[in-house]
Structure 1
Amino acid sequence: MLNINGIDITKYIKPYKVSLQDLDSDSSVRNVKGEMMRDRIAVKRKIELEFGPLQSNDIKVILGATAGVFFSVTFIDPLEGQITKQMYCGDRTAALYSSNTELWTGLKFNLIER
């Protein structure tokens, strides 16, 4: 289950990966004993998405949903279950498989929590 700005894209995606990323402050360092003195300021999510073949109208819907600077994403998180986060999109890549049928393949991008 994955919704971007209320648009359900579940039927288009391959199984996705969710990364939990710790963000540390600049004061996180190792002391003279080599022990980590950590100041974690946040835990953020990154979702790695990959899609199967897409018709031109489908890829337009997906790319349109991720066109904003930030947008709402609802997904199944391994730690918290179903959650909604404000996210942004990394670089998007896709290959035109057939210009005759306007079929696209290999669409990939990451969604990163704000």
Structure 2
Amino acid sequence: MLLKINTVEIAAYPAEFSCTVLDLDDAESTERTANGSLNRDRVAVKRQVEMTFPPLPWPKMSKLLTQMRDSFFDFYYPDPMTGKYETKNMYVGNRPAPVALDGDDGELWWGQLSITLTER
């Protein structure tokens, strides 16, 4: 698997990778009728990618997070629906890195970073 942010290979690869195909419906015109039928107005189909990374040394964590610092960026990934690699303009949500550990070499390591990328 190859992953890129703004044409540059990602600084670290995730231990877990999941891609969701999202249907976005118009909130005002999509509704259920009294008999339970759905009247749906789908306005777009987008992608959402969830990744969880193994513990990373501080320099690699910093490089990975820096790659996603812009409000929006291009993300290259394997798409399960199209059956090929795609580039989508994405944004990233919160980026928690919950645990800091000292490695055997005295270097600081950050625990499992979990991120969600959502297509713009």
TM-score, normalized by length of structure 2?
0.87
1:61 and 2:63 correspond:
yes
1:29-50: CA deviation from partner (whole Å, max 9, x where unpaired): 1223321111000011110011
1:91 match: 94
Residue type of the partner of 1:4?
Answer: I
Structure 2: stretches of 5+ with no match in the other structure: none
- 2: CA distance, partners of 1:45 / 1:78: 10
Residues 10 and 61 of structure 1: CA distance in aligned 2, closer, same or farther (over 3 Å) = closer
TM-score, normalized by length of structure 1?
0.91
Give 3-state SS (helix, strand or coil) of 2:71's partner. Answer: coil
- 2: CA distance, partners of 1:101 / 1:57: 10
2:107 match: 101
- 1: CA distance, partners of 2:11 / 2:19: 15
- 2: CA distance, partners of 1:97 / 1:51: 15
1:66-97: CA deviation from partner (whole Å, max 9, x where unpaired): 11000000000100121000000010011212
2:51 match: 49
After TM superposition, what 4+ stretches of structure 1 lie above 4 angstroms from structure 2? Answer: none
- Count of aligned pairs between the two proteins: 114
- 1: CA distance, partners of 2:11 / 2:80: 17
1:110 match: 116
- 1: CA distance, partners of 2:52 / 2:20: 15
1:4 and 2:5 correspond:
yes
Checking the alignment, whether the CA contact within 8 Å between 2:49 and 2:118 is kept in structure 1 is yes
Give the strand-richer structure, 1 or 2.
Answer: 1
Structure 1: stretches of 5+ with no match in the other structure: none
